[in-house]
Amino acid sequence: MSRRLILLLIGVSAALVLITLALTRGVGGCPRPRMDVTRLEGGWTDDGGASVTLPVKQAYPPEGYGIETSLPTGDGSPRYLLFYAKYQNTRLLWNGTELGCCLCRPPGQDRTIGKVFTLLPLPEEAGTLRIEAAPLLGGGVPYEISVPLVGSEGALVYGMMADELPILAIAAAIFCFGLFLLICGLQALYTVAAQREDALAFQASFLHIGLFALVFSLYSFVITDTVHLFIPEPYPIYLLEFLLFMLIPLPLLALAAEVCGARFRALLTADCCVLFLNFAAQTLGHLFFGWELRRGLTLTHLLMALSALLLLSSLLSAAWGKNRRWWPVLSFSPVLVGALADIFRFYLPVFYQKALGFQLGVLAFLLLQTGYLLRQNLRYYETSLRSSTYRQMAYTDALTGLANRAAFEAELARVEGKLERHSSIWCLSADINNLKKTNDALGHAAGDALIRAAAELLRDGAEGEGRVYRVGGDEFVLLLFDRSEADVRALRARLDAGAARYSAAHSPGLSIAFGCDRFRFSDGDTLERLLSRADQLMYEDKRNWKEAQAPGPS
C-alpha cells in the first residue's frame, strides 16, 4: 500500500513538473510567447466622474452602469483585450464604437449562463475604452467587475493559466488523493475479513473521503478561469459550479456520522437530508422554472455554515466521549476553517472569487486522513491475516489436513439455505474397516497411518468432484453437488481401486466401507436425513465386508 502511495506521489509530481516546463518554456520546442500583459486596474472613471480602481465588487443599480479609461498607442504588434462578465450583459466600446460584448443572458433566454469570456482585437491607435454593463439579478446583489487585460493572444492565455497554476495543481493533487482513497476503499471491502463495526466504519471512511475529494476537485476546477479554455460553452460550467458546491458537505457529514455518538448521528443524518433537499429543490427549480442558482447561494452558504458547526460539535463530542477520539477533530479542522473563512470572505466588499483557503484546508485534511487510513489499513490487514490463520486452524484436521467436523457443520448450514441452486446433492459416508484391530495389534501409530492413507485416497479420488471432511476418528464424509449417478458410481470405483492398490503395497492393507445416497428434493428431504441414510448404507457395507471376512464352516 505504501509503495502505491509513493508511486502515486511521484507520478503527480512529475506531471506538475512537465506542465510547469511546458508553460514556461513552450510546448514541443516552440518559443514561449511574449509575456507582456497590461492590467487595466487604475485610471477608470464612472459616469459621475468618480475614480474607480479595479477589480471591485459591489451592488449596482438595475438600470446598469458604465466606466471608461484611456489607452495609449500600441507598440506595433497585434494586441487583444481579455475580459469577462458574470451575471451581467456587458458591451465593450472603443471611441464610441462597439468592439464586442459578453452576454450572460443571451437574447431569447430566461436565465443566465454564468461567467462569459471574450477576447477582442484592439485598434493600434490611442483611444477610449468603455464598459457598459446591465446587471441581470436585480439590485442588492454584489457584482464583480474584473480587470481587463491587454496583450498578445498567447500572453493572455498563458497568463490565465500561469496565474491559476497553484490552484490547478492543488485540484489535481486532491483528485489523485480522492481516486487513490476510493481504490483503497474498494480494496478494503474485499480484503478486510473482520466485519466488526469498527472495520465497517474504517472501510466507509475510505469511500466517503475519496468521494468528497473527487467532488471537491471537480468543483475547484470548474471555478477557475482556465476551465473556459477547455469548455467553451459557459452554461455547463455555471451549472456544475453550483451543483457540485451544494454536494460537497454530504460525504463529510456521512463520514462524521460513522465516528460520532448516536445522538449526533441522527442530527447529521437529518442535516444530510436537508442539504440534499436544498440541492434537489434548486436543481429542479432551475431546470423547470428558470430559477437562478446564484439567488440561492446565500441559503446554501447558511446551510453549509450550520453544517460545519454541527460537524464540529459532533466531533468535539466524540473527542470528549469515553473513546476520546481526538484525531477526527484535528483532521477536520483545516477543512472546516478553510470553508468558513471563504464563506465569510465572499460577503466582504472586496474582489474575491477563488476558494484557495478551502482548497488548502481540504489538501491538509486529505494528507492527514490518508496517512491515518493507510496506517489503519495495514493494521486491519494484519488482523485479517491472523483471523484467516486462526480460522484455517479451527477448520482443519491436524492429522490428515482435511476439513474437520466444524467445517462440515458450517458447510451444511451454508448449503441448507441454498438447496435450490443445485440440481443434485450426494452424500458419501466412509469408515475404515478393522481400525480397532490394527490399533490393538500394531499400535496407534499404525492406525494413524491408515487414517492418513484413507484421507489421501479420498482427497485424491474426489479431486474436482467435491470436498472431503473428517468428521470422527476414522469417519469421513464427501459432499458432491450437481453430479449424475454415473459420476458417483465412477468415483466409488476409483476409490475401491485406490484402496486395492494401497493394500497390495502395504501391510496392513486398507479397506473402507462406503455408503452413498442422493438428496430427495421432492420429498421434503433434509441434509440431516441424507447424512443418516448414507451412514446406514455405510454400516450395511461394513457388515457385509465383515461377513465376507469371517471364516467359513470347517
Task: Give the three cell numbers for residue 404.
Answer: 474437520
Q: Which comes out higher in pLDDT, residue 314 or 185?
A: 314
> Do residues 450 and 404 lie in contact, with contact meaning Cβ atoms separated by under 8 Å?
no
Q: What is the pLDDT of residue 100?
A: 92
Q: Is the pLDDT of residue 28 over 70?
A: no
Helix-helix angle 327-346:356-394, to 10 degrees = 160
pLDDT at residue 327, rounded to an integer: 67
Once rounded to an integer, what is the mean pLDDT over residues 254-272? Answer: 81
How confident is the model at residue 101, as a pLDDT? Answer: 92
Exposure b/e, 316-331, CB count within 10 A at least 16 = b: eebbeeeeeeeebbeb
Q: Which of 494, 532, 517, 511 is nearest to 428 (CA)?
A: 517
Answer whether residue 23 shows pLDDT above 60: no
The pLDDT value given to residue 17: 45
The yes-or-no verdict on residue 164 having pLDDT over 50 is yes
DSSP 73: -
Of 86-100, 151-165, 453-467, 519-533, the range with the highest mean pLDDT is 86-100
pLDDT tens per residue across span 173-226: 889 888 888 887 777 666 554 444 445 555 667 788 888 999 999 999 998 888
φ, ψ for residue 34, nearest 5 deg = -60, 135
The strand pairing partners of 513, in sequence order, are 431
- For position 215, what pLDDT does the model report? 92
d(Cα 305, Cα 344) in Å, to the nearest integer? 10
Which of 292-296, 329-333, 468-472 has the lowest average pLDDT?
Answer: 329-333
Instruction: Please state the domain extents for the chain.
Output: 1-32, 37-159, 172-389, 405-548
Q: Which residues contact 549 (CB under 8 A, 6 or more apart)?
A: none
Q: How confident is the model at residue 26 (pLDDT cuts 50, 70, 90)?
A: very low
Tell me the average pLDDT across 23-46: 65
347: pLDDT strictly greater than 90: no
pLDDT of 463: 80
Q: How confident is the model at residue 282 (pLDDT cuts 50, 70, 90)?
A: very high
Higher pLDDT, 140 or 302: 302
List pLDDT tens digits, range 98-155: 999 999 998 888 888 888 999 999 998 999 999 998 888 876 777 888 889 999 888 8
For residues 481 and 428, the answer to whether their CB atoms sit within 8 Å is: no
Q: Any idea which architecture 405-548 has in CATH?
A: 2-Layer Sandwich (3.30)
Inform me whether the pLDDT recorded for 29 exceeds 50: no
> In whole angstroms, what is the distance from residue 59 CA to residue 137 CA?
10
pLDDT tens for each residue of 398-448:
888 888 888 888 888 888 878 778 888 999 999 988 888 888 888 888 888
Work out the mean pLDDT of the chain and round it to a whole number.
81
Q: What is the pLDDT of residues 458-504, one digit of tens each?
A: 888 888 778 899 988 889 999 988 888 898 899 889 888 988 898 88
Residue 551, pLDDT score: 65
CA distance 238 to 200: 37
- 3-state SS of 333-391 is HHHHHHHHHHHHHHCCCCCCCCCHHHHHHHHHHHHHHHHHHHHHHHHHHHHHHHHHHHH
Q: Using 50, 70 and 90 to split pLDDT, how confident is the model at 20?
A: very low
Cα–Cα distance list, 227 to 168, 220, 237, 353 (Å): 10, 10, 8, 14
For residues 518 and 319, the model is more confident at 518
Vertex 522, ends 520 and 523: CA angle to 5°?
70
Q: Which fold has domain 37-159?
A: Jelly Rolls (2.60.120)
Cell matching residue 22: 511546458
Q: In the chain, what percentage of residues exceed pLDDT 90?
A: 21
pLDDT digit string (tens) for 538-547?
999 889 888 8
